[in-house]
């Protein structure tokens, strides 16, 4: 395990998802739910407009953990995600991960995963367990 990791270490990234990125994710994932892709359909929904796929938002956690913290070589063992609010296309979000536990007996860390919008509203909350 990396010796420099400690509880409380955190990193974050801000991102605005575009129409093109949402459409590309729909194509890659097969999630073509019209709430993400069809403006007329989405306008009639309780959201009133198209929303970004929750799993596209959650992919920001994977990038942070695999590249920045814990970083290269980290492997997902598990993830919980609680979707709290929708994110609209063109809305800025900030995803962060924070180490909340480091096992002393194994190279395993637990991190809190959090995504908030520019209004400070939590849109995703969860935890991940990683082998480092």
39-81 per-position pLDDT tens digit: 999 999 999 999 999 999 999 999 999 999 999 999 999 999 9
Is 3 inside a domain boundary? no
The CATH code of the domain that includes 61 is 3.10.129.10
Has this prediction a pTM greater than 0.85?
yes
Q: In what order do the strands lie in the sheet with 92-102?
A: 10-16, 92-102, 108-117, 122-131, 75-83
Q: What is the pLDDT of residue 95?
A: 98
The Cα–Cα gap between 16 and 33 comes to 20
How many domains are there within the chain? Answer: 1
Give the DSSP H or E segment for 23: helix 19-29
Is 17 inside a domain boundary? yes
Is 2 inside a domain boundary? no
Is 112 inside a domain boundary? yes
Q: What is the pLDDT of residue 2?
A: 59
Mean pLDDT, range 99-124, rounded to an integer: 97
Is 4 inside a domain boundary? no
Is 78 inside a domain boundary? yes
User: How many residues in the chain?
Assistant: 132
Is 5 inside a domain boundary? no
Annotate 82-128 with DSSP letters as a single string.
EE-S--BTT-EEEEEEEEEEE-SSSSEEEEEEEEEETTS-EEEEEEE
Is 76 inside a domain boundary? yes
């Amino acid at each position: 395990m990396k010796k420099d990791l400690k509880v409380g270490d955190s990193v974050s990234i801000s991102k605005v998802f575009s129409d093109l990125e949402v459409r590309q994710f729909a194509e890659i994932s097969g999630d073509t739910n019209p709430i993400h892709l069809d403006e007329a359909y989405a306008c009639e929904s309780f959201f009133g407009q198209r929303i970004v796929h929750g799993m596209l938002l959650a992919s920001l956690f994977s990038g942070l953990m695999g590249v920045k913290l814990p970083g290269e070589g980290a492997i997902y063992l598990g993830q919980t995600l609680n979707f709290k609010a929708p994110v609209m296309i063109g809305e800025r979000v900030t995803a962060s991960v924070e180490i909340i536990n480091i096992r002393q007996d194994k190279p395993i860390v637990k991190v809190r995963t959090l995504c908030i919008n520019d209004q400070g509203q939590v849109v995703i909350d969860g935890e991940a367990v990683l082998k480092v």
